[in-house]
Chains A and B, each alone.
Chain A
Amino acid sequence: MAEGKRARPEPTPETRHFWDGTRSGELRLQRCNGCSQSYFPPRPFCPRCASREISVFRASGKGRLYSYVIHHRPVPGFTPPYAIAVVELEEGPRMMTNIVDCPQTPEALVLDMPLEVAFERLDDEITLPLFRPARGALS
């Protein structure tokens, strides 16, 4: 079994909305009001056009498996082997995550498989957005 605790993120004023969102069961992204670009990680301006006129919105929580490695050495909070993955969200941005409810093998972790967000509570403040195979995707 995993020993120790996984690294805990520390929110900043610019990222607080994201962590407030995961705690309440929402995956929140940001979108530029001017050029409509959706982006991640959080920042209070658009990285494409530099506009400060941006909105926070609730993402669908759906995406696909973009790439990953399966780590075979121990890390606090993880039981090897475990996948460190990147999901490409339906809205466009990509984020690092772990894949749960799925064998951590190359055979089970197929690139482009549909995923959906699965929130994992670490403590009162922090809930992580993990991902699992989308319902109906595994036969």
Chain B
Amino acid sequence: MRPGSIAIIGAAETTELGRLPELSQIGLHADAALNAMADAGLRPSDIDGVATAGETPVSIAHYLGITPKWVDGTAVGGCSFMIHVRHAAAAIESGLCQTVLITHGESGRSGVGRTRPPVSPSSLQGQFELPYGPMGPPTLFTIPVLRYMKTFGLTHEQLAMVAVVQREWAAKNPRATFRDPITVDDVLQSRMIAYPFRLLQCCLVTDGGGALILVAKERARDFPQKPVYLLGTGESVETPMVSQMEDFTTSRAFRVAGPTAFAEAGITHADVDHLMIYDAFAHLPIYGLEDLGFCERGAAGQFIWERNTAPGGKLPMNTNGGGLSYMHSGMYGMYALQESVRQMRGIAPAQVAGARISVCHGVGGMFAASGTIIMTNEAA
């Protein structure tokens, strides 16, 4: 993708976030999609490309009344939507389609109409991880962190600070699920989930959705909202089994996706005004800051502790409150993208004054996959 050649011209979340038992998974996709189409002034007949995860593109296209010429069903977990953005940009630029709708919806809390299949006992995870008693992401995503702590001396207090800082951002956001201030002590005294992770270091579980609409930059000014341009994109995958990560102190998928996006964008870290790093658990912003090159290896815990990513800090990060305090339906990447779009439009509740470049970095599975999207509000 040539930097700036593709624009996001429609973006919206579901009308509400939180506990929404009145909407099924596909209903959440549709609510977000209808909001995004209204945001862009488009109808289903204007859409000719569909990308989604959780549901299939077939289900979404049929449910919304869309006749696509291009679809992408990449489903690699919570960063699937970053990867959809990347694939959609390539598809539009090469002429496969013109107007792409990307949808997410997930009844993570209420569990209405969920489609996630169980892990087969004959899969490699089923044979070589499940028998040892993991129960979802809180017990798998978290396994590498003790090795990181021993290698770099990251403290429990520093790991707790991640949640404290994100709650400070959430306090500025009326749509955030949790907005009351918390302290490091509060985090370290919250209920133990999977040592060393306590409740306040684990993401929320909520219902919601989000959708994006992309077009070529030549059409970007034909729509009512301020366009947000794509500057750089990256993606990668590593392993479906967290136990088989090459290195427990760094994510190979992060180290491919992030630098690929930076190289495409042609920017340096000093150019970045706003950052989103998918935070299903408190260690993820630490891995992300290092693997994307914002911090030296082993330095991100102290970087956050010194309030560099907090309100007033030099690198505002996870300004919606993140998966730890804003919302987390399961595949959170869409909400990180939405916050980057808001920041680039200049309409975020905790708006970073004058922000021109936003980096949005996602993870999928338990360090299984990654996608990075760099956006700007300045036309090339």
Interface residues of A (CB under 8 A from B): 6-12, 15, 40-41, 66-73, 75, 77-78, 81-82, 84-86, 94-98, 106, 111-112, 122, 128
Query: CA of A84 to CA of B197 in the docked complex: distance in angstroms?
Result: 13
Instruction: State the B residues within 8 Å of A (CB).
Output: 120-122, 124, 126-135, 138-140, 142-147, 150, 191-197, 241, 243-244, 248
**B144 contacts A11, CB within 8 Å?**
no
Q: Which residue of A lies closest to B249 (CB)?
A: A67
Within the assembled complex, what's the spacing in Å between the Cα atoms of A6 and B129?
A: 11
Given contacts A66-B248, A95-B243, contact A72 B193 (CB under 8 A): yes
Q: Are A97 and B135 in contact (CB under 8 A)?
A: no
Q: What does DSSP make chain B's interface, helix, strand, loop or mixed?
A: mixed
Complex CA gap A9/B144 in Å reads 23
Of B124, B134, B144, B243, the most chain A CB neighbours within 10 A belong to B243
Bound form: Cα–Cα A40–B243 in Å: 10
Number of A-B contacts (CB under 8 A): 112
Given A8-B121, A70-B195, A94-B244, A78 and B133 touching (CB < 8 A)?
yes
Q: Are A41 and B147 in contact (CB under 8 A)?
A: no
| A69: contacting residue among B121, B191, B194, B241, CB under 8 A | B194
Cβ contact within 8 Å between A72 and B143: no
Bound: A82/B132 CA distance, A: 10
Closest to A130 in B: B132
- B145 contacts which chain A residues (CB < 8 A)? 67
| Central interface residue in B129, B133, B138, B146, by most chain A CB within 10 Å | B133
Q: Nearest Cβ distance between residue B305 and chain A, in whole angstroms? A: 21
Chain B residue with the shortest CB-CB distance to A9: B127
Given known pairs A82-B133, A86-B243, A96-B129, the reply for A12 and B194 (CB within 8 Å) is no
Q: Is the CB of A98 within 8 A of B132?
A: yes
Which of A12, A41, A111 touches B150 (beta carbons < 8 Å)?
A111
Query: Max chain B CB contacts within 10 Å: which of A75, A78, A85?
Result: A75
In this complex, what residue of A is CB-closest to B193? A72
A8-B131 in contact (CB<8A): yes
Instruction: Return chain A residues, CB-CB under 8 Å to B140.
Output: 84
Given contacts A6-B133, A95-B128, 14 further A-B contacts (CB under 8 A): A7-B121, A9-B121, A9-B122, A12-B127, A41-B128, A66-B248, A69-B143, A69-B146, A69-B197, A75-B134, A81-B192, A84-B194, A106-B195, A106-B196
Which of A9, A68, A81 is packed against the most chain B CB atoms within 10 Å?
A9
B128, B132, B134, B146: the one within 8 Å of A67 (CB): B146
Which 4 pairs from chain A and chain B are nearest by CB?
A: A70-B195, A9-B127, A10-B122, A67-B147
